[in-house]
A and B are shown apart, each in its own frame.
Chain A
Amino acid sequence: MKLRSVAAAVLLLVAPASALDGQPGMHDPSTVIQADGKFYVYATGNGLPAFVSDDGWTWQRAGSVMQAVPGGRPGPEVIARGGNNSWAPDIVRAGDRYFLYYSAPGAQPKSAIGLLIGKTLDPGSPDYKWEDGGPIVWSDGVEDSNAIDPGVLRDPTNGTLWLTYGSYFGYIRLVELDPKTGKRLHPEVKPANIAINSEASIMIFHDGWYYLLVTHGSCCAGGNSSYNIRMGRSKKVTGPFVDNMGVEMIRGGGKLFAGSSGRHIGPGHFGLIDLGDGVQKFSCHYESDLDRGGASVLDIRPLLWRDGWPVAGDNVTAGTYEIQSARTGTALEMAVEGVPVGGARGRSGRGAAGVPGGRGDSAGAPAVTSIPAQEAAQVSGSWPTGRVGVRMAPYMVQAQQKWTITPAADAGGYPGSPFFKITIAGTDRALAATEDAELVVLPAFTGGPEQLWRIDQLADGTYRVMPKAVPNSRDPLALSAVGSSSPTLSKFRPESDRQRWSIVAP
């Protein structure tokens, strides 16, 4: 146990988990939306800062939304109901248009949420402009509501559109929107109160349940922010939303979804990213990223599901691991003849066979010598120097079964992570895809796309492992346990364990 703790500490020291690359500095991000092969996100700030990414890993600032709004600021009715600010937006696709909801607070809790309508998210497009859709909801500064922090749900069961909003000063509220106009469907109906004393609310739907995610705690104080994401669920979109202990969110309940951890303090403003094939991620911002001077930054992390509740997963970090098939429990290994750790020993742990107390003689006290971990340098003398095959075998902590996963510099990435190289620990021998969609270990990593790996955590906590590219193939393929001892690359099938892998610290 002590050794394991030390190993974990070493991993942490050498493998800080960066929250995205490029210019991820932002606060109160919207849902990350995909359009025309790119990822977009909008945030609090002058004119509503926009950010774009080609791959979901490296982000760049892309001007401000208000630059494309007539007048360059919220519409006059929005300002009248709230104020001339632009904070904490959310965005949803509506047919061939986008509805962008944003916070326009005045002297809080006098606030409004405005609507902007656009045809494209690409600032380079001649069609790029945002039209004022007016105020959607507001708070008068007296009532128990602060109409900021919009969150939009399109109900996948019936296509209806819903808006939750609010920030302390009372309740989180819910109104139904018109999917055609983006405005309130029943403005005469009083907004429903569904939670209290929180902000950054948004709903998601999963397996018959509506989940309301909100942010508790304090923001905007850097590393002294206690922001954390909490949740409840309901069978009806209108609630009541109840946490895992049976406490209604309208009475302050909320099961923890994500709190501070590692180098990141104060997660808030949940957003769902559904990448298809059962791969879901979520976006949030941290109030303070200790690896970026304590700045507030965007992050994208895996979204897992356990016992009917979403769970915040963690992106893979650099380290040395066993890569274990969920299908068979066998471990990926370079196909070389293994050597028992510590050499051949009997159950007494002592010496060779045929001598008293030696191999095969279990009598007496066991040996007390600690056998060190097997390093590649100890056993690699007999390994072929060229390309070596890849197979699976029972994990026996041997050198050819331990893989070092390392972010590849300047190689791009995918939502939440950079591409990785995967090498035999202690060597530069690199896992690669072959032209016939099989696997090989190359003598050295040279940076080719067939040697770069995407590792997405799946809903059950296992991982999908995919090469950035397979030579001569345009299809995305995933590492697959086609047999107990035989890996290959094949199309990812979410329903199968073939392409699910556990990445386990050795």
Chain B
Amino acid sequence: MKTVHYAWLALLGAAAILTGAVSPGSAGQQPAKSRVRAASRPAPASGADAPDRTGFIQRWLILEPIPVAPQLTDSAVQAVVNKQYFPNQFTALPHDRDTVSVADQSLTWHAVDTSDYNVNLFHFASALNKPTSNVLFWAVTVVVAPRDMPNLRLAIGSNAASVWWLNGEEVIGLYNDRQTVIDDGVSKRVTLKKGPNVIRAAIVNAGGATDFCARFLDADDNAVQGIEVKLDANPYNP
């Protein structure tokens, strides 16, 4: 059973200050920057970011959470993630601080870096005073491959359910209440094409902690290196 530990929230507030996490839209702040959990990395920039030494992608654009029903079965999650919430939901390549309207709410995309292998969505949403339970998170990133790289697999973990697309094609889904485990869900063999490749994820949380992780594995199931994460690389207009 997942339980929100309210004591965390107080700590989280302190952590948000200590780490310099800021809520979007605050007057006088530096341009868009949100940090997830740790302050050991610089704020996301327009430059390239390499995956960590174990291949995990640490730079993402994340949309503020969308309230959804707390159901995590295969069919319920598929229905939730395939519902239209905002225009060009499956093709848009947002920028930091872009906003979209969802059911009369204005939600903002945030560029975030994480210093861990995973992205902590609970901290992300809490720091923004947004709900963390019964929500849908959209996450997008752009991976730049130096050459065509066939026979890779997108390997992900999520708390809770999630569905993932690579260059517009759904490649993996995880359902039911679950914790984030490295390489929990692994796609069938895919090709990263030379240049920008878009990874899009929808993470559905019912209650309690929520996070995700993602990396690519090679044909020998080793973490892929040599790729870059570049949020401003536009695959539609390279």
Contacts and interface: CB of A to CB of B under 8 A. Distances in A.
Interface of A: 336-337, 393, 436-438, 482-486, 488, 490, 498
B56 to A, nearest CB: 14
Contact of B174 (A485, A488, A490): A485
B185 A486 contact: yes
Interface of B: 73-75, 153, 155, 157, 172, 174-176, 181, 183-189, 217, 221
A479 to B, nearest CB: 14
Contacts of A337: 73-75, 175
Contacts of A438: 188-189
B183 A482 contact: yes
B184 A483 contact: yes
21 contacts: A337-B73, A337-B75, A337-B175, A393-B176, A436-B188, A436-B189, A437-B189, A438-B188, A482-B153, A482-B186, A482-B217, A483-B185, A484-B157, A484-B183, A484-B184, A485-B186, A486-B172, A486-B184, A486-B187, A488-B188, A498-B221
Main secondary structure of the interface of A (DSSP, over half): loop
A115 to B, nearest CB: 47
A490 B75 CA distance: 30
Contact of B155 (A436, A483, A490): A483
A352 B217 CA distance: 44
Contacts of B157: 484
Nearest to A327: B183
A438 B174 CA distance: 18
Given A482-B217, A482-B221, A483-B155, A488 B75 contact: no
Given A336-B74, A482-B153, 12 more contacts: A337-B74, A337-B175, A393-B176, A482-B217, A483-B183, A483-B185, A484-B157, A484-B185, A486-B172, A486-B185, A486-B187, A488-B186
Contacts of B73: 337
A498 B183 CA distance: 12
Contacts of B175: 337
A180 B81 CA distance: 72
A436 B155 CA distance: 18
A485 B175 CA distance: 10
Contacts of B181: 484
A497 to B, nearest CB: 12
A444 to B, nearest CB: 23
Scoring A336, A436, A482, A488 by chain B CB atoms within 10 A of each residue's CB, the highest score goes to A482
A482 B185 CA distance: 9
Contacts of A486: 172, 183-187
Contacts of A490: 221
A436 B189 CA distance: 8
Contacts of B183: 482-484, 486
A488 B12 CA distance: 40
Nearest to B187: A486
A485 B184 CA distance: 5
B185 to A, nearest CB: 5
Nearest to A439: B188
Contacts of B176: 393
Contacts of B174: 485
Q: Quick one: which of A336, A437, A488 has the most chain B CB within 10 A?
A: A488
B219 to A, nearest CB: 8
Nearest to B221: A482
Nearest to B189: A436
Contacts of A485: 174, 184-186
Contacts of B186: 482-483, 485-486, 488
Nearest to A393: B176
B61 to A, nearest CB: 25
Contacts of A483: 155, 183-186
Contacts of B221: 482, 490, 498
For the complex of A and B, list the 4 residue pairs with the smallest distance between their C-beta atoms, beginning with the closest. A483-B186, A486-B186, A483-B183, A337-B74
A106 to B, nearest CB: 60
A151 to B, nearest CB: 41
A498 B222 CA distance: 13
